[in-house]
Structure 1
Amino acid sequence: MIKIRTGALLATALLTLTGCSMSNGGEAKAEGTKVVGVRDQDEVNAETKKVSSEIFDLIGVPGTTSKGGAGVQPCEDRDRERFYKMFHPWSLTAKTDEELAQAMERLKAALPQRGWKIVKYGPDSSASKSLELTADNDERKFGLHVSFWRKDSGGDKNPPMLKIDVVSGCYQVPDGQKVEHY
């Protein structure tokens, strides 16, 4: 059951975070998915990792993070060889629900001070009503989705966990380059 829920959350986050709520800021716009600029993929990959690291620091809870790194996805309705968005899904498990509940409150308070707009904060639609936070940073062209899974709330036994998805806006690679898919 956790696998289905994780996939659904990631799909929801990707649609929410890179869709209409990210402002265009007067930059390139074409049919379909909003394009936020032309940037080298390695630059956006590095910035995606930096944003994830900043979120980890704001959470401020000791625990175990999931392995893996940033990846690339095509932008909806765009040529997959020229347009891309970076994403970095990861999770943090902790000892207690209380630590992570406090971390969610910290994120809610600290993110707006760092240029993020909270667009949703509250229970999700799952049976466990997991607390979720969705935020956009229009200046940096990133979206964030954090879901707090209380102990044993995933349908199976699970430790207290935050599930984090960091997603960039849709970029076009510079002329002469192709998107590297990984």
Structure 2
Amino acid sequence: MTDDDTSKPPANSASTPDEAGSGVPDAGIATTDEAVASVKSVSSQIHDFIGVPGTASEPGPGVKACPGKDPDTHFQVYHPWNFKPKSGIDNDVAMKNLKEKLSTGGWVIKESYRDNSPNRNFNLLADNDSRKMSVWVVAYSKRATPSLGIEVTSGCYRAPEGETIKHS
């Protein structure tokens, strides 16, 4: 992929930082099940954006504490997964599709760059302010089996009063 990419690590992606200044946007109030469902929905949308045949890994979302917040009342959901196209050449096509789609429908590309690894993998970081979600995609195009590494991360949710956060 040829772009005006730079060699820098991703900045802390966040659109509307929370009051603690962690850079993680406030995503509102939700149970862990509701927040996990929301992140799964975004991961599904990202899968659709890829637009080439292939297989996605199975592990589901996890729940972690929000930086600078009480872990008993606040949490984030993250969903790391991998996509392996049926054809290695489709890895670059998938990244091209993602770059186009992650510039529409509330998505904004925050950064695109080549990392400092020997393969100079292409990285793409995008936020969706209205959904309080971020996605980080890494194209492992020069591996023996090309793939995309994808992580969808939510903003910081506050659990409803009386709800227990199911950390994983």
Q: What TM-score results when the alignment is normalised by the length of structure 2?
A: 0.86
Paired residues for 1:100-119 under 5 Å: 100-119=91-110
Q: 1:23 corresponds to which residue?
A: 16
- CA shift, 1:32, in A, is 4.6
- Are 1:178 and 2:167 an aligned pair? no
The superposition leaves residues 79-111 of structure 1 with CA deviations (integer Å, 9 ceiling, x where unpaired) of 111110001100011243321111111111112
Q: Identity across aligned pairs (percent)?
A: 36
Q: Distance in 1 between matches of 2:156 and 2:43?
A: 17
Work out whether 1:129 is the aligned partner of 2:120.
yes
Q: Match of 1:168?
A: 154
Q: Report the residue type matching 1:72 in the other structure.
A: V
* Map of 1:9 onto structure 2: none
The farther-off stretch of 51-60 and 104-113 is: 104-113
Instruction: Please give the secondary structure, in 1, of the residue aligned with 2:45.
Output: helix
Q: Give the aligned partner of residue 55 of structure 1.
A: 46
Q: Report how far residue 126 of structure 1 moved.
A: 1.6
Alpha-carbon contact 1:91-1:163 (below 8 Å) kept: yes
Q: Any stretches of 5+ residues in structure 2 without a counterpart?
A: 1-8
Q: 1:147·1:163 contact (CA, 8 Å) conserved in 2?
A: yes
Matched AA of 1:30 = E
Q: What's the TM-score, normalizing by structure 1?
A: 0.79
* Counterpart for residue 137 of structure 2: 146
Q: Counterparts of 2:152 and 2:77 in 1: how far apart (Å)? A: 8
Q: How many residues align?
A: 158
Alpha-carbon distance in 2 for matches of 1:67, 1:131: 23
Distance in 2 of aligned mates of 1:150 and 1:83: 37
- On the 8 A contact 1:146/1:164 being kept in 2, the answer is yes
Q: Which amino acid aligns with 1:160?
A: P
* Aligned partner (choices 77, 88, 109) of residue 79 of structure 2: 88
Deviation string, structure 1 residues 143-174 (Cα, Å, up to 9, x no partner): 0000000242xxxxx41000000000011101
Q: Provide structure 1 residue ranges, at least 5 long, that are not aligned to the other structure.
A: 1-11, 153-157
> Structure 2 counterpart of 1:164, which letter?
I
Q: Shift of residue 35 of structure 1?
A: 5.4
CA contact (8 A) 1:90 1:165 kept: yes
1:135, distance to aligned residue in structure 2 (A): 0.2
Q: How far apart are 1:31 and its partner, in Å?
A: 2.7
Aligned match for 2:57, one of 52, 59, 66: 66
User: What SS is found at the alignment partner of 1:166?
Assistant: strand
C-alpha separation between the residues in 1 aligned to 2:81 and 2:92? 18
In 2, distance between residues paired with 1:181 and 1:168? 14
Match for residue 44 of structure 1 among 21, 35, 39 = 35
